[in-house]
Amino acid sequence: MSAPVLDVDHIIGDLGTKIVICCGSGGVGKTTTAAALAVRAAEAGRRVVVLTIDPARRLAQSLGLGELDNTPAPVSGVDTSNGGSLDAMMLDMKRTFDDVVLAHSTPEKGQQILANPFYQALSSSFAGTQEYMAMEKLGQLHNESENGGSWDLIVVDTPPARSALDFLDAPEHLSSLLDGRFLRLLLTPARGPFKLMSVGFTLVSTAMNKVLGTQVVTDVQTFVTAFEALFGGFRARAQQTFELLSSEHTTFFVVATAERDALREAAYFVDRLTEEGMPLSGVVVNRVHASAVKVSADRSLALAEDLDSADQPIEVMALQRHAAVMRVIEREQMLLHRFSSSRPNVARTQIQALPTDVTDLESLRRVGSLLSAQHQAPGCDV
């Protein structure tokens, strides 16, 4: 079955496309794909910022930067003759959280929150915080670009796991955290619905003090009380960004390789995005093997058997090696055919396996060229 062709150049060249999000499991070349898309778009004339949420350093290395941080940094060596530009950055979860607190509170209240031990734990390692801060940062970048900022396209490289799509649940998770019964119980009972000091609440409070310790409970109470005024804005911004993700200005690329586990994860991402009503462009399949010699594995092995390995060892080894490559190709094509059969409407592009790692701008350009040339390449359908 022939999969619909994913026309990457058309997507990144469309000025209506404001956000491209690359998601996929680990080890499939997702960061490389995001970087290659960003470079290609920039050299085609788009003003691009690429944001990685993955803490690995691969994006910085491939773009020729020593290190990335929470502030967009210009990437040198990009051809800007068409009017484009490229900046790159890596999400710093805690710094983003700190910046938001300081921007939306008085100086005194902001410093009070930043110094709170519970906030320090929440902003550094609490489950779901990274996903919510990714939403915050993406919203900030989009707002800046819409208000005459430096970019007209944002490329996002998500973490290499199924949790890469957890940011879709960020508004709900944040609401569950700060609206949760546990934290609400920790609020000072003299206010709001807790004005009536009951024996039941006293028993609960006493039990929590014993389990968590008085200081921990006090820290949480202080944090929630100080944070309450900011919560409405947090939730509203998260919801706005979620709506942006589902709009016509955003598109998702699912990145995979032609391996069983990677395609299974790609199927999960495709199904999840479809269920959420997110705008999915298609699947990028990296490191697909190909051979210019159209001799089957069985035929190669038969030819190798006909040769005298003692007299022609090099030829025999070459035939055996070719047979092994053809077996890989056959397996990949079978898996891709199975994927397309189960999801026939999902567009796909394939990138041929390269002989070396992608570590610099020139190799990123090569990947970008393969991405765009896919609709011209013979044998891309299975």
Task: Supply the range of the domain harboring residue 196.
Answer: 8-376
- Residue 378: pLDDT band with limits 50, 70, 90: very low
- Residue 207: pLDDT band with limits 50, 70, 90: very low
Residue 343 resides in a domain? yes
Query: What are the tens digits of pLDDT across the range 44-62?
Result: 999 999 998 876 677 777 7
What mean pLDDT comes out for the span 188-200?
Answer: 43
Phi, psi of 282 (to 5 degrees): 160, -165
Question: Residue 249 in contact with residue 17, Cβ under 8 Å?
Answer: yes
For the cut 80, the answer to whether the pLDDT of residue 66 exceeds it is no
Q: What is the pLDDT of the chain when averaged over all its residues?
A: 80
Residue 186 resides in a domain? yes
Q: Where are the alpha helices (DSSP H) in the chain?
A: 8-13, 30-43, 58-62, 93-103, 107-114, 117-125, 129-146, 170-179, 181-186, 199-212, 214-245, 260-276, 297-306, 313-342, 361-373
For the cut 80, the answer to whether the pLDDT of residue 76 exceeds it is yes
User: What is the per-residue pLDDT for 194?
Assistant: 41
Residue 381 resides in a domain? no
Residue 3 resides in a domain? no
Residue 370 resides in a domain? yes
For the cut 70, the answer to whether the pLDDT of residue 193 exceeds it is no
CATH of the domain at 353: 3.40.50.300
Query: What are the tens digits of pLDDT across the range 267-313?
Result: 999 999 999 899 999 999 999 988 767 777 777 777 767 776 657 77
What mean pLDDT comes out for the span 344-362?
Answer: 90
User: What is the per-residue pLDDT for 69?
Assistant: 86
Residue 322 resides in a domain? yes
Residue 1 resides in a domain? no
Query: What are the tens digits of pLDDT across the range 126-165?
Result: 666 777 788 888 888 998 888 888 899 999 988 766 666 7
Count: domains in the chain: 1
Q: Bridge partners of 156? A: 21, 51
Question: Residue 218 in contact with residue 186, Cβ under 8 Å?
Answer: no
Residue 382 resides in a domain? no
